[in-house]
Structure 1
């Protein structure tokens, strides 16, 4: 019997707002083992107008947020339609869209990722899966992190997977169960202060290297209550606004970058060491920050594995494409051992074309 191949596009917009990641991949399963191949991938930068709209989305009133949800859905449709055309893509079973997170408050039973999948479908005329997180929150989970299902089924050669994006998160097997959780903020803070210095981001820690680590600030950051909580746990921008930014007032941007880079490295290394991780796959935009990676390496004996640029940049978009394939087949795509929900489940709203 011939092996069934699934062709899927994954869309990912992270909290660091560096653009929309689009990843077109092929998936197949042999002997209970899933494999993949990335066929095309690119990051499309947001216009200044769109970046500002998304950055300030949490300040909108309800009608304006609902309008942005529709408008952003059409933007996703336009960008995806152009991607399909530019790469002459003919085989496409499904599109999985993460959307862009505006609110994440699972303790209040909600999480909001804008980008209406119906608008996306109207323009692409393809099967769509979107709104992956809310079902998990309604089941009592954190709705995050979701990529560990892909870590388990696509990247099982590594003992742990770490993503360095707006936030860092980790997933690994513990007592035969996959667990995962957010570790700490990374680029959501580093980019903010780099941009205050007229840089889009702190490339290779160029700015952080010039600053001084502030011992009392580093201590205050490391003592935040979130770090003492047991998994499952997740972070959102609201937490950064209320818990992180107030601590940073009164310090220079350069010293903040130096101190927060140190803080991120310490928290990531601590989680690797405490869980006795022998080797970990690092992906996400922060993996390109050599200064941060070198700092992590000095603080842990874990072997840090850096994959191809393609995997570094598009692993999350790849996994949301994969989650859409799982959803289309009614297979589990969210692990309760990771999110804390009542049971494993197949999440996302599936729109059949």
Structure 2
């Protein structure tokens, strides 16, 4: 039985902060039966300055983008180093892995770029650092997304379907298939910010609950061209900004009404994705009702989850109950797992989910400054 301790980091398109999660993975390398235990986890909220820099990153000049790439690498390294010290994990952590913060994701052009210079971050750590998980898959014809089905396959194998409600809602089906479903917190949070008043998000979905449906807006959302594509497929911010946000006209409609409409849209699209996956899990489910694990920031939106639950219940699905740390840090947890598999030389991105020509061991490994980390680097052997 093998046991490894790593730290995973995630920064999503909702731009609320850097999720950091220290996890102990225990399992068998040869049979790929793995379990996990979260040792510590927290979110480092972005300052107003960092939020603005990340939001404007795709408009920067070349030199400005490189400067931000280095600065974010330094920021990330400082946050992780502080986290490890704060939680007294210095003697336990064997590696760190990070998704980075995506600025460009255009797999059709062979491009996916995540902020955070790996060598800069590694210089602030005492253990190997793994990042840049998407580039290889994109290079061999994949979408570079979704990446989390690998972790779901091995760590959440008792869940029939995994839904993550982040900036974008995505689905994983028994760790075998997955794709981005629709915009989620990216549009909900944008509407709340448009309303003003200091709120960053619709707490518990109360604003949406108070609004009325706008049928013509719902029809436009349901008819987005992205939904006509077959998986594997991935959605990114530029598509949302160009095709979705213009539909949400706050000058024409009340923000509460748009929030109500968008929340309904997300719930219906998530439920449809689960229903379409039903044939794939018909012969593999261990439960009389198909189980759905819902995680991510949107899982704390009570109204959104309530609507999803109503749809799923009518289709014979059951929402799993899970601890709050897993809800909040599942993606960071899984990036730690992807980093571990990279260091072990095991496939961690699957062609079945991304559409690439083959599976791959993805991630760039960056060594720490110290040469005295043999006990950590032994993980590679």
Judge same fold: TM > 0.5, yes or no.
yes
- Preserved contact between residue 160 and residue 170 of structure 1 (Cα < 8 Å): yes
1:4 CA displacement: 2.4
Tell me what 2:341 maps to. Answer: 326
1:291 CA displacement: 0.3
TM-score (ref. length: structure 1): 0.96
1:79-118 counterparts in 2 under 5 A? 79-89=79-89, 90-118=91-119
1:125 CA displacement: 2.7
Tell me what 2:170 maps to. Answer: 169
Gaps of 5+ in 2: 282-289, 369-381
Q: How many residues are aligned here?
A: 348
Tell me what 2:371 maps to. Answer: none
Aligned-partner Cα distance in 2 for 1:170–1:140: 21
- Preserved contact between residue 218 and residue 263 of structure 1 (Cα < 8 Å): yes
1:251 CA displacement: 2.4
SS at match of 1:307: coil
Are 2:282 and 1:281 aligned? Answer: no
1:43-122 counterparts in 2 under 5 A? 43-89=43-89, 90-122=91-123
Match of 1:272 among 263, 274, 284: 274
1:253 CA displacement: 1.7
1:167-246 counterparts in 2 under 5 A? 167-173=168-174, 178-197=176-195, 198=197, 199-246=199-246
- Preserved contact between residue 122 and residue 367 of structure 2 (Cα < 8 Å): no
1:18 CA displacement: 1.1
1:100-119 CA distance string (max 9 Å, x none): 01111111110111011111
1:316-335 CA distance string (max 9 Å, x none): 00000010000001100001
Aligned-partner Cα distance in 1 for 2:48–2:233: 33
Aligned-partner Cα distance in 2 for 1:63–1:117: 17
Aligned-partner Cα distance in 1 for 2:276–2:335: 29
1:207 CA displacement: 0.9
- Preserved contact between residue 133 and residue 143 of structure 1 (Cα < 8 Å): yes
SS at match of 2:123: helix
1:93 CA displacement: 1.3
1:32 CA displacement: 3.4
Match of 1:303 among 293, 308, 318: 318
Q: RMSD between aligned alpha carbons?
A: 1.2
1:288-328 CA distance string (max 9 Å, x none): 11100111112223111131100000110000001000000
Gaps of 5+ in 1: none
Which moves more between the two structures, 118-127 or 27-36?
Answer: 27-36
Tell me what 2:356 maps to. Answer: 341
TM-score (ref. length: structure 2): 0.89
Tell me what 1:133 maps to. Answer: 134
Are 2:139 and 1:124 aligned? Answer: no
1:242-290 CA distance string (max 9 Å, x none): 1101212232222111110010011001111122261111110100111
1:39 CA displacement: 0.4
Aligned-partner Cα distance in 1 for 2:318–2:177: 20
Aligned-partner Cα distance in 1 for 2:255–2:56: 21
SS at match of 1:124: coil
Aligned-partner Cα distance in 2 for 1:336–1:78: 34
Aligned-partner Cα distance in 2 for 1:63–1:257: 38
- Preserved contact between residue 97 and residue 117 of structure 1 (Cα < 8 Å): no
- Preserved contact between residue 32 and residue 154 of structure 2 (Cα < 8 Å): no
- Preserved contact between residue 181 and residue 232 of structure 1 (Cα < 8 Å): yes
